[in-house]
């Protein structure tokens, strides 16, 4: 299917109705993940226990409207921007699907907002959509959405705005919303309103290809006790009440937002497209690009190194990255490209440049070159993160963060040992498939506690 197909043109038309200049292929097409039917039933089971039959139901990311096929309600209207997903087959007589952007109407009287809103990263939201949707949310309920918020947050807030004063919201969304800084405005709004919240953390096998821990989140606007409960799904698919959002009685690792500390962790570079702006050794050699002149060392993941590795030197880089065929070379953008590098950049197909980040630049590949960190650290892990001293001077990309501000070998080694030996169990919200994920400001909180002690 091409980007100029009737399907994408119709999606663009729906976005244009919101006053947005869209690129539909970069938007909801990236998040079309069908909700398993057992999960749809599970959401409705919870709704039925709380409310029983409901009146008007809205679904702002309807897909094929499978949430319309279960439950007890008087009417259902689903909004779906992708016309190929707007199936009218086998729908109950009191249900309809509208091919339109969910933000095109101002609903305020729904008894229930239900569904699985689109999961699109903030970097991939179409030009202008985020600003328009954020303005709509702020106008309706006064909440200022974080610029780092992914698409589902906008739909969550839309659901809160669209339900009646005694309404119910029941959504399948990432469990991380209960703790991540980008969701703070959302949480604070719910707390300010005093609504009750039940969050059911789902097992990691709920979705085959979604790399985040999901939840069924219930916001009961009728029950204004301000009570939040957290549940864990058991192997038999029942739910057990958890002590706290981390599933333990340990306090969640805090987020340090100050920028005064000398030793700081920084997020790994997102160059715009790792597919073309980072290369394997084979790709580098075939293009005739010179190390140091055209490309520099980089690390996009620490999965290839062992847990025992403490030093990333030339020999380790050669073995675990170059010889292993990993993406390990980042193009240089801090100087005029050589003839060979420019030839390579010009050869990148137009489709390969159509990421949200690249399309916003005057020159699609011209990102700001990062500094070389003293340490490289994996933000995702199972027990303890991998942390290596960066002797080779590799740039940190993606899920690998860099730690800066220390050049003293003794201090650098001490920091690495501290981060590797810290006990994270019960202090970090689960991410996916048994993985834990540290936010940058959580790492900075740890670094501050170390330097202050």
pLDDT, tens digit, for every residue of 2-19? 333 333 334 444 444 444
Pairwise pLDDT comparison (120 vs 248), residue with the higher score: 120
Examine residue 247 and state whether it is found in any structural domain, yes or no. no
Examine residue 383 and state whether it is found in any structural domain, yes or no. yes
Element (H, E) at 331: strand 329-331
The answer to whether residues 305 and 387 belong to one domain is yes
224-238 pLDDT per residue, tens: 999 999 999 998 989
Residue 74 has a pLDDT of 96
The answer to whether residues 425 and 371 belong to one domain is yes
The answer to whether residues 170 and 292 belong to one domain is no
Domain final residue pick, 241, 275, 291: 241
Residue 10 has a pLDDT of 41
The answer to whether residues 110 and 177 belong to one domain is yes
Q: What is d(CA 325, CA 308) in angstroms, rounded to the nearest whole number?
A: 21
Rounded average pLDDT over 351-361: 89
19-76 pLDDT per residue, tens: 444 444 444 444 456 788 999 999 999 999 999 999 999 999 898 899 998 889 999 9
The answer to whether residues 284 and 157 belong to one domain is no
Could you give the percent of the chain with pLDDT greater than 90?
A: 62
Q: Is 252 left (phi over 0), alpha (psi -120 to 50) or beta?
A: beta
| CB atoms near residue 222 (< 10 Å) | 14
Residue 174 has pLDDT above 60, yes or no: yes
Domain final residue pick, 209, 241, 273: 241
Residue 424 has pLDDT above 60, yes or no: yes
Alpha helices by DSSP H, 146-183: 151-162
The answer to whether residues 199 and 66 belong to one domain is yes
The answer to whether residues 157 and 283 belong to one domain is no
> Any long-range contacts for 338-344 (C-beta under 8 Å, 24+ apart)?
338/289, 338/290, 338/293, 338/294, 340/287, 340/288, 340/289, 340/290, 340/294, 341/287, 341/289, 341/294, 343/287, 344/287, 344/289
Residue 220 has pLDDT above 50, yes or no: yes
The answer to whether residues 140 and 281 belong to one domain is no
The answer to whether residues 353 and 231 belong to one domain is no
Examine residue 413 and state whether it is found in any structural domain, yes or no. yes
pLDDT band at 334 (very low <50, low <70, confident <90, very high): very high
Residue 172 has pLDDT above 90, yes or no: yes
The answer to whether residues 198 and 130 belong to one domain is yes
Helices vs. strands in the chain: H and E counts, helices first? 12, 20
Token pair for 111: 């008894």
Sheet-wide strand order for 395-396: 278-279, 329-331, 295-299, 395-396
Token pair for 358: 């690249």
Q: What are phi and psi of 100, to 5 degrees?
A: -160, 160
Pairwise pLDDT comparison (87 vs 98), residue with the higher score: 98
Examine residue 246 and state whether it is found in any structural domain, yes or no. no
| CB atoms near residue 319 (< 10 Å) | 12
Domain interval for residue 142: 6-241
Under a CB-based contact definition with an 8 Å cutoff, are residues 363 and 353 in contact?
no
Examine residue 255 and state whether it is found in any structural domain, yes or no. no
Domain harbouring 20, CATH code: 3.40.50.150
pTM: 0.74
Residue 204 has a pLDDT of 65
Examine residue 29 and state whether it is found in any structural domain, yes or no. yes
Q: Which residues pair with 387 in a beta bridge?
A: 377
Residue 382 has pLDDT above 80, yes or no: yes
Q: Determine the Cα angle at 311 with ends 307 and 312, to 5°.
A: 100
290-323 pLDDT per residue, tens: 999 999 999 999 999 999 999 999 999 999 999 9
Under a CB-based contact definition with an 8 Å cutoff, are residues 375 and 388 in contact?
yes
Rounded average pLDDT over 410-436: 85
Largest distance between two CA atoms of the chain: 71
Examine residue 94 and state whether it is found in any structural domain, yes or no. yes
The answer to whether residues 185 and 129 belong to one domain is yes
Examine residue 248 and state whether it is found in any structural domain, yes or no. no
Sheet-wide strand order for 264-266: 264-266, 400-404, 375-378, 387-389
Residue closest to 365 by CA, chosen among 325, 337, 401: 337
Residues near 266 by Cβ (< 8 Å), separated by ≥ 6?
A: 370, 373, 396, 401, 402, 403, 404, 440
Number of domains in the chain: 2
The answer to whether residues 394 and 292 belong to one domain is yes
Residue closest to 173 by CA, chosen among 226, 118, 223: 118
Under a CB-based contact definition with an 8 Å cutoff, are residues 202 and 171 in contact?
no
Residue 16 has a pLDDT of 45
**Taken in order 425, 430, 433, 437, is the CA torsion positive or negative?**
negative
């Amino acid at each position: 299917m091409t980007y100029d197909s009737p399907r994408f043109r119709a999606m663009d038309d729906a976005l244009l109705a919101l006053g947005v200049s869209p690129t539909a292929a970069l938007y909801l097409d990236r998040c079309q993940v069908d909700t398993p039917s057992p999960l749809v039933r599970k959401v409705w089971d919870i709704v039925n226990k709380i409310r029983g039959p409901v009146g008007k139901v809205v679904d702002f990311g309807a897909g094929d409207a499978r949430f319309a096929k279960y439950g007890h309600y008087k009417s259902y209207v689903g909004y779906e921007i992708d016309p190929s997903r707007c199936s009218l087959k086998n729908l109950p007589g009191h249900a309809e699907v509208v091919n339109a952007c969910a933000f095109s109407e101002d609903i305020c009287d729904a008894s229930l907002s239900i569904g699985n809103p689109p999961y699109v990263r903030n970097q991939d939201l179409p030009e202008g959509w985020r600003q328009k949707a954020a303005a709509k949310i702020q106008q309706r309920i006064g909440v200022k959405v974080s610029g780092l918020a992914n698409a589902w947050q906008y739909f969550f807030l839309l659901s809160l705005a669209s339900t009646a004063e005694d309404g119910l919201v029941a959504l399948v969304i990432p469990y991380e919303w209960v703790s991540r800084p980008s969701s703070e405005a959302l949480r604070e709004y719910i707390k300010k309103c005093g609504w009750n919240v039940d969050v059911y953390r789902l097992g990691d096998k709920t979705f085959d290809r979604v790399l985040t821990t999901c939840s069924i989140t219930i916001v009961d606007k009728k029950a204004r006790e301000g009570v939040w409960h957290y549940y864990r799904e058991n192997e038999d698919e029942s739910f057990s009440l958890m002590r706290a959002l981390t599933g333990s009685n340990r306090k969640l690792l805090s987020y340090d937002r100050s920028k005064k500390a000398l030793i700081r962790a920084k997020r790994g570079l997102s160059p715009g497209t790792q597919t073309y702006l980072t290369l394997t050794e084979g790709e580098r050699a075939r293009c005739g690009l010179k190390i140091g002149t055209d490309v520099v060392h980089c690390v996009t993941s620490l999965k290839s190194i062992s847990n025992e590795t403490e030093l990333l030197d030339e020999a380790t880089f050669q073995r675990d990255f170059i010889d292993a065929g990993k993406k390990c070379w980042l193009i240089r953008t801090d100087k005029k490209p050589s003839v060979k590098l420019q030839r390579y950049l010009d050869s990148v197909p137009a489709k390969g440049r159509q990421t949200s980040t690249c399309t916003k630049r005057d020159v699609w590949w011209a990102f700001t070159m990062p500094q070389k960190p003293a340490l490289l650290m994996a933000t995702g892990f199972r027990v303890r993160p991998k942390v290596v001293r960066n002797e080779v001077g590799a740039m940190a990309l993606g899920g690998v963060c860099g730690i800066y501000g220390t050049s003293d070998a003794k201090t650098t080694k001490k920091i690495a040992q501290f981060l590797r030996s810290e006990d994270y169990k019960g202090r970090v919200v689960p991410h996916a498939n048994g993985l834990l994920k540290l936010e940058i400001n959580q790492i900075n909180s740890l670094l501050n506690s170390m330097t202050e002690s």
